[in-house]
Amino acid sequence: TAFPLTLPRTVTADTVAARFGSEGYALINPGAAWPNKRWPPQRFGALAVEIFERIGVRSLVLWGPGEEEIASLVVGASGGAAELCPRTDIVDVFAIARGAKLMVSRDTGPLHIAGAVGTPVVALFGPTHAERNGPWSSDDITISRAARCVCHYERKCRLLQPCIDDIAVDEVVSAAEYRVAARG
């Protein structure tokens, strides 16, 4: 089942497509309004390195209002395996997600946009339940720590370390490899 969406081309999406060429790109979305949903930027950077080495595509790091610093930290930790996405509006996000080979994100709006346009998704969940908030496609992969969470649906974690921090880079890379291979 697919959402009946007609996506216009945008200058920003065309610029991204031209920059990455025929190899394409993985889309990484490190931002989140809730601090409790954030996975460390250094891990997203390490993920970009592994995606490049194991899947063969560089990553584009998406950011929204107030998230450019987090996205820049991811790019800095990627050793050149990722680059910062240009400024986007909502239509750009749809078009850029549609062009991606993969989207890795936490529980947030761009994750659901990628799912709606048919982009393969690996979703990282901490304080929210994937059964309620997760990707709609049964082909997509969710890595969740909600079963261990003591702060469900709270913006800030009451512990020293949020449960989402228990997700290891290797686990996400393996899920990404599997999801990309499953798509063909």
pLDDT single digits (tens) 36-53? 667 789 999 999 999 999
Residue 35 confidence (pLDDT): 64
Q: Which residue has the higher pLDDT, 70 or 155?
A: 70
pLDDT confidence bin for 31, thresholds 50/70/90:
confident
In angstroms, the CA 84 to CA 107 distance is 20
* Mean pLDDT calculated for residue range 5-34: 89
Residue 8 confidence (pLDDT): 81
- Look up residue 103 and give its two tokens: 């989207």
pLDDT single digits (tens) 131-140? 655 566 678 7
Strands of the sheet containing 141-144, edge to edge, are 82-84, 58-61, 25-29, 102-106, 121-125, 141-144
pLDDT confidence bin for 172, thresholds 50/70/90:
very high
Residue 153 confidence (pLDDT): 54
Interhelix angle for 11-20 vs 90-99, to 10°?
30
Q: How many CA atoms lie within 13 A of 121 on its CB side?
A: 31
Q: Which residue has the higher pLDDT, 159 or 66?
A: 66
pLDDT single digits (tens) 54-94? 999 999 999 999 899 999 999 999 999 999 999 999 999 99
- Look up residue 151 and give its two tokens: 């702060």
Residue 169 confidence (pLDDT): 94
